[in-house]
Amino acid sequence: MNTQIKICGLSTEASIDAAVKAGASHIGLVHFEKSPRHVALEQAASLRMRAPASLKVVLLLVNAELDLTTKAIEVIKPDIVQFHGSESAQWIHALKNTVDIEIWKALGVRDAASLKTADEYDNAADLILFDAPAQALPGGTGMRFDWSLLTEHKHKLPWGLAGGLTSDNVKEALAQTRTQLVDTSSGVESAPGIKDVDKIAAFCQAVRDYDNH
């Protein structure tokens, strides 16, 4: 099986090229001004054009108003929109009736009860991304959570794993959770917001090594 790999928080064409070369399946563009990875709408639209058709582009928003959400989708034309704030299942469900796009919902995992929260999104989102709980930022924190909570986890929706993943720990994360999608941001950076092409390559290689073991 080929685990899907999302490299998140890209802001340059060079990092997109590196993700493609390394074999990532998804890239994330963060539109959230408080993030060191924030890209303006026009910049995100331009980066989106750089991605080949084989690479899925995920737009990340955090508690954005409906107007901004629909405008960002219209301007950037992502394949997927990922909500990384406290967006309710009802809000996402209503959005789904107005825009025809795949929707992911990120949820911070503290304990087993956090996993139950995901059930609320069964009829709203297409995928749940389990991440570390919010710190100063809601995502891209570089923190991991207790992956053993996801061992044997079954969910109606497909789900992915994020939070503190690096080339050094991703095999352990895959072995514990058997997730089909891994997402990293800080783990492939040399500084917040600065992607490192060698770390992107090493991360993707570690995932492929696990897939082929």
Ligand X SMILES: O=C(O)c1ccccc1NCC(=O)[C@H](O)[C@H](O)COP(=O)(O)O
Closest approach of ligand X to the CB of residue 111, in Å = 18
Closest approach of ligand X to the CB of residue 33, in Å = 10
Among 16, 22, 73, 162, contact with ligand X (rule: CB under 6 A): 162
Closest approach of ligand X to the CB of residue 27, in Å = 10
Residue 147 within binding range of ligand X, rule CB under 6 A: no
Residue 32 within binding range of ligand X, rule CB under 6 A: yes
Question: How many other C-beta atoms can be found within 10 angstroms of the C-beta atom of residue 192?
Answer: 14
Among 165, 202, 204, 206, contact with ligand X (rule: CB under 6 A): 165
Residue 131 within binding range of ligand X, rule CB under 6 A: yes
Is 36:213 a contact under the CB 8 Å cutoff? no
Q: Distance between CA atoms of 6 and 200, rounded to whole angstroms? A: 10
Q: Distance between CA atoms of 188 and 131, rounded to whole angstroms? A: 16
Q: Residues near 87 by Cβ (< 8 Å), separated by ≥ 6?
A: 63, 105
Number of residues that bind ligand X (CB under 6 A): 26
Closest approach of ligand X to the CB of residue 42, in Å = 19
Among 142, 158, 171, 196, contact with ligand X (rule: CB under 6 A): 142
**Helix (H), strand (E), coil (C) string for 11-37:** CCHHHHHHHHHHCCCEEEEECCCCCCC
What b-and-e string marks burial along 112-133, b requiring 16 or more CB atoms within 10 Å of the CB? eeebeebebbeebbebbbbbbe
Question: Candidates 16-24, 72-80, 88-96, 181-189 — which segment interacts with ligand X by CB under 6 A?
Answer: 181-189
At which residue do the structure tokens 């503190």 appear?
164
Residue 22 within binding range of ligand X, rule CB under 6 A: no
State the amino acid at position 81 in one-letter form. V
Q: Which residue is nearest to ligand X (CB)?
A: 140
Residue 185 within binding range of ligand X, rule CB under 6 A: yes
- Residues of this chain that interact with ligand X (CB under 6 A) are 8-9, 28, 30, 32, 35, 37, 60, 62, 84, 131, 137-142, 162-165, 183-187
